[in-house]
Structure 1
Amino acid sequence: MNAPVVVHISECFIKPQYAPKESEQPFYLMPWDLALLSTHYIQKGLLYAKPPQAKKDEHFMQALLNRLKSTLSLALVHFYPLAGRLKTVKAENPASCLVYVDCNGSPGAKFIYATLDLTISDILSPTDVPSIVQSFFDHDRAVNHDGHTMSLLSIQVTELVDGVFLGCSMNHCLGDGTSYWHFFNMWSEIFQAQGKSTNSFSRPPIFKRWFPEGHGPIFNLPYTNPDEFISRFEAPQLRERVFHFSAESIAKLKAKANADCNTSKISSFQSLSALVWRSITRVRNLLPDQITTCRLAANSRSRSDPPLLENYFGNAVYPIRGFTTASELLGHDLGWAAWKLHEAVVDYDDKAVRVLLDDWLEGGIQKVIPFEKLGKSHYYPSSGSNNKYGCEFGMGKAVALRSGYANKFDGKVTCYPGHEGGGSIDLEICLKPDFMCALESDQEFIQASSFNQPV
């Protein structure tokens, strides 16, 4: 018997309802944006249960698709760079290239309708996230540089027997996770307003680029051929699981970490990150003197002076890190590891942000980051603070959040808010099969997580 597959029924391109004047000009990218040309698109999505009326209304899906398309067109008026394409202008002396977003003449964002003969339970009940979830997203394995010919935004609506998955693939050069969920939330807000207004909503994006004094807004890369800085990454065989941590469990972790260090400064997120860092290091059986690293995606918006507004649309995160030897990490308690991460967070201030940008501009660091460098033996969670479950599209609150193939490697951990809210957290963990089996038997990890509760 053949396994069910995702079947694409239709696809089209969605343009902004009208072109804002700003879209006539090139949209220049910042160093943080350009550094991601060789990594994957962001792929996240939400799974919704079909409302009861859908069973009686044979036109439910068509009406939903029409409304999603029309409100997406309105949202793109405000988020116009997402409807563009990347463009490169080369220079010979000195050899360089300028990569920017061109919104003129683009066909727009891609919109796909697909079907799958499976239920919500088929997706959420298995221990591991089923591989079929990767088919809920467009631009599979595409790197951001592919945005020269591919859409910078692609929406795939996959209809299940009793649910709908809304998957969004966004070019990472245009924005980080904060920007990604900013767009998703504003699209939802326009949808819930019945598309009545195109002029205002709660959080209009800020596209004015920030750059250090004496620099910008144009940043050239020292390359003339994409082969010089683009590489393709294939992940090894991985198991992917979503582990749930209740608000009570996280409060206990935080209390323990702070008690270990006789402080009150360690955050919940730092405590949870320390737990996972220790657990993954332990299951990997590293040599005692081997360096182990935990990287956290720090939002630079609030750390810049003056701070960037939260509505700043672009990339403004940097992977700060705590590191030590395996023997040091596992020879100390949870609080010791959490304090390492706390120090890394505190040290990442306005001065650190400017030093990193200066290094990029002066050639002290690699201009375009190869994905292999990001995915080398570390744990790299993204923030759970964005309003992910606030995105509603006429079907109530989503029942789960899932991601695609993009940007996954052995040791990748992504943080989502728990479905019930209240400070609970879900961790999406990707590990090689042997390491995942060991994690499922790691006592420190099991005691902290709601291990037997399917997410």
Structure 2
Amino acid sequence: MTRIRHISTNTIRPTNHNDQLIHRIELTPWDLRLIQLDYIQKGLLFQKPAELEQSNSLIQHLQATLSQTLNIFYPLAGRLAVIENEDNTTCFYINCNGDGASFVHAAADGVKVADILDSVYVPDDIVNDLFSMKEAWNYEGISKPLLAAQVTDLVDGIFIGCSINHTAADGTSFWHFFNTWSEISRLGGYDKIYKPHPVLGRQFHEGVIDLPIHLPSSYVNEIKSKQLIIGHGSSSDSFQRVVFHFPKEKVAWLKSKANAEMGTIDSNISISSLQALMAHLWRAITRGRHLNPDQEVAYRVAVGLRPRLNPRLPKEYLGNALLGVIVKCTAGELLEHGLGWAASQINKTIASLTAEEARKYMEDWVKAPTFLSNMLGATNVELVTGSSPRFNVYGNDFGWGMPVAVRSGMPERKLGKLTVFPGPEDGSIDFEACLLTETLRAMADDAEFMEAVLT
């Protein structure tokens, strides 16, 4: 176990918290259904330039620029709040009270950048400790910070890990925040940045649902009780996380192959690069799992809703705007057909998520609320993909250069979780995959799968 030494912990508040700000932000069904899950945890690994002094002055600079970033993203400096109503219902909202974010300065003694990057296997004994709030539930945002940043000194590098309460932000909002902080750090002030400010209003939901949402108090008691019995990212030795790197030319080759098989090249229903890549992984993992042909397999894909709604949600909307769609078939069907068939099933299922479907989901949810479970990995037949290769990950320059890698924290260590990121080279795509050790061994011997992976 790598020893992470905590040097200091501070509370960072906005520098300009004032009465002109919005004080209460309502939570939508997209936010509330995540309340019993973990925080989002993503972080960036940087090489340490020789001229960069990793000293208190750098930490003070990052703290000061985080404070300036919270002037813009001030809801992340607040807390979740609960109102118990007389009709035996409960309302949640974000109280923009300026209580602050957590900032941890730490050191990973003896750990080098190469210790994280030299193997396709993610060294969880190192990476998990590069984040604070490792075992926080979204529900706990009532008393805990909605945002926690940890800056960890390595021998020859720096890791900046952020944990954000998932009821307050999705991946799009997470990286909007990270991009804004890095730009403020690089340019030396929030008055110099070019990034648009987050959109905080909830007027986009008017006419669809009434806010605030009143949850039966029995639901809240259920959420509290499940906190005690549902685990966070597992420490099991039976599965591991790896990073599969797909170079630009291999991504293009898979896309071309899938569309050629289905006759959809240059059509309005063409298969995307990501869909072809997900199909490639789905088929290889299913082969590696050695399932019975009649065993049903499922692939859940998180789909962003901002461009799908009518009218569209602004890209800068701060909150959650995504839904999962599920592609199902039998293991036999998936492997008997080619890459194109699997990709087309993903393509058609994603296309079926229309603005009307999203609206109906919100209306139905208010009538009968359901909450996502943290129990991913209960069976060895399901996959889940989150995140996006479109996020601006490698553009985060805090003033000493671009990152060399992105890594996730403990919440992503769940069997069957496939987290997608842009690769470090333009047009490349990385998948961080958590799978059984024997499945990974089988995939390493799978020539069809490995043909597209950079080793």
Please say if 1:110 is aligned against 2:115.
no
Determine helix, strand or coil for the equivalent of 1:282: helix
Please say if 1:306 is aligned against 2:311.
yes
How far off is 1:417 after superposition? Answer: 0.7
- In 2: Cα distance, 1:305 partner to 1:38 partner: 29
- In 2: Cα distance, 1:172 partner to 1:240 partner: 22
How far off is 1:381 after superposition? Answer: 3.4
Letter in 1 for 2:177: F
**1:433 alignment counterpart:** 437
Residues 68, 190 of structure 2: 8 Å contact kept: no
Please say if 1:249 is aligned against 2:250.
yes
Residues 212, 354 of structure 1: 8 Å contact kept: no
Q: Deviations over 1:402-433 (max 9, x none)?
A: 11001431111011111112x10111010122
Q: Deviations over 1:208-231 (max 9, x none)?
A: 113251522211222247441243
How far off is 1:201 after superposition? Answer: 3.5
Determine helix, strand or coil for the equivalent of 1:379: strand
Please say if 1:97 is aligned against 2:95.
no
- In 2: Cα distance, 1:22 partner to 1:224 partner: 36
Residues 297, 383 of structure 1: 8 Å contact kept: no
Residues 113, 158 of structure 1: 8 Å contact kept: yes
Q: Deviations over 1:145-196 (max 9, x none)?
A: 0111111000000000110000000000001100000000011111122116
Letter in 1 for 2:442: A
Match of 2:199 among 206, 210, 215: 206
Match of 2:127 among 120, 125, 133: 133
Please say if 1:240 is aligned against 2:241.
yes
Residues 15, 76 of structure 1: 8 Å contact kept: yes
Against the structure 1 CA distance between its residues 92 and 285, is the aligned structure 2 distance closer, same or farther, given a 3 Å change threshold? farther
Match of 1:359 among 348, 364, 367: 364
Letter in 1 for 2:338: D
How far off is 1:388 after superposition? Answer: 0.7
Q: Deviations over 1:361-390 (max 9, x none)?
A: 121xx4322222687622323211010111
Q: Deviations over 1:76-130 (max 9, x none)?
A: 011011001111111242x2211111122x5300000000121111121134111
Against the structure 1 CA distance between its residues 384 and 20, is the aligned structure 2 distance closer, same or farther, given a 3 Å change threshold? farther
Determine helix, strand or coil for the equivalent of 2:188: coil
- In 2: Cα distance, 1:196 partner to 1:307 partner: 27
Q: What is the correspondence of 1:46-445 to structure 2 with a 5 Å cutoff?
A: 46-54=44-52, 57=53, 60-93=54-87, 95-104=88-97, 106-117=98-109, 118-131=111-124, 132-195=126-189, 197=191, 201-209=194-202, 210-211=204-205, 213=207, 215-224=209-218, 226-230=220-224, 231=226, 232-234=230-232, 235=234, 236-237=236-237, 238-264=239-265, 265-363=270-368, 366-372=369-375, 377-421=382-426, 423-445=427-449
Against the structure 1 CA distance between its residues 25 and 381, is the aligned structure 2 distance closer, same or farther, given a 3 Å change threshold? closer
- In 2: Cα distance, 1:345 partner to 1:156 partner: 35
- In 2: Cα distance, 1:408 partner to 1:108 partner: 28
Moved more, 268-277 or 23-32: 23-32
Q: Which runs of 5+ in 1 are unaligned?
A: none
Determine helix, strand or coil for the equivalent of 1:154: strand
- In 2: Cα distance, 1:239 partner to 1:374 partner: 12
Residues 40, 407 of structure 1: 8 Å contact kept: no
Q: How does the TM-score come out when normalised to structure 1?
A: 0.93
Residues 82, 93 of structure 2: 8 Å contact kept: yes
Determine helix, strand or coil for the equivalent of 1:380: strand
Against the structure 1 CA distance between its residues 300 and 9, is the aligned structure 2 distance closer, same or farther, given a 3 Å change threshold? same
- In 1: Cα distance, 2:72 partner to 2:160 partner: 20
Match of 1:40 among 33, 38, 41: 38
CA RMSD of aligned residues (A): 1.7
Letter in 1 for 2:106: A
Residues 84, 101 of structure 1: 8 Å contact kept: yes
Against the structure 1 CA distance between its residues 375 and 314, is the aligned structure 2 distance closer, same or farther, given a 3 Å change threshold? farther
Residues 376, 416 of structure 2: 8 Å contact kept: no
Letter in 2 for 1:175: A
How far off is 1:286 after superposition? Answer: 1.9
- In 1: Cα distance, 2:248 partner to 2:288 partner: 25
Residues 190, 201 of structure 1: 8 Å contact kept: no
How far off is 1:241 after superposition? Answer: 0.5
Determine helix, strand or coil for the equivalent of 2:94: strand
Letter in 2 for 1:387: N
- In 2: Cα distance, 1:22 partner to 1:408 partner: 41
- In 1: Cα distance, 2:34 partner to 2:386 partner: 17
Q: How many residues align?
A: 439
Q: How does the TM-score come out when normalised to structure 2?
A: 0.93
Determine helix, strand or coil for the equivalent of 1:37: coil
Letter in 2 for 1:429: A
Letter in 2 for 1:266: I
| Runs of 4+ that moved beyond 3 A | 20-24, 224-227, 373-376
Against the structure 1 CA distance between its residues 162 and 215, is the aligned structure 2 distance closer, same or farther, given a 3 Å change threshold? same
Residues 15, 108 of structure 1: 8 Å contact kept: yes
**1:26 alignment counterpart:** 24
**2:14 alignment counterpart:** 16
Residues 20, 77 of structure 1: 8 Å contact kept: no
Against the structure 1 CA distance between its residues 201 and 22, is the aligned structure 2 distance closer, same or farther, given a 3 Å change threshold? farther
Determine helix, strand or coil for the equivalent of 2:451: helix
Q: Which runs of 5+ in 2 are unaligned?
A: none
Q: Deviations over 1:16-69 (max 9, x none)?
A: 011143545222111100100011100000001111213xx4xx4222111111
- In 1: Cα distance, 2:306 partner to 2:378 partner: 24
Letter in 1 for 2:372: I
Residues 121, 242 of structure 2: 8 Å contact kept: yes
- In 1: Cα distance, 2:210 partner to 2:190 partner: 38
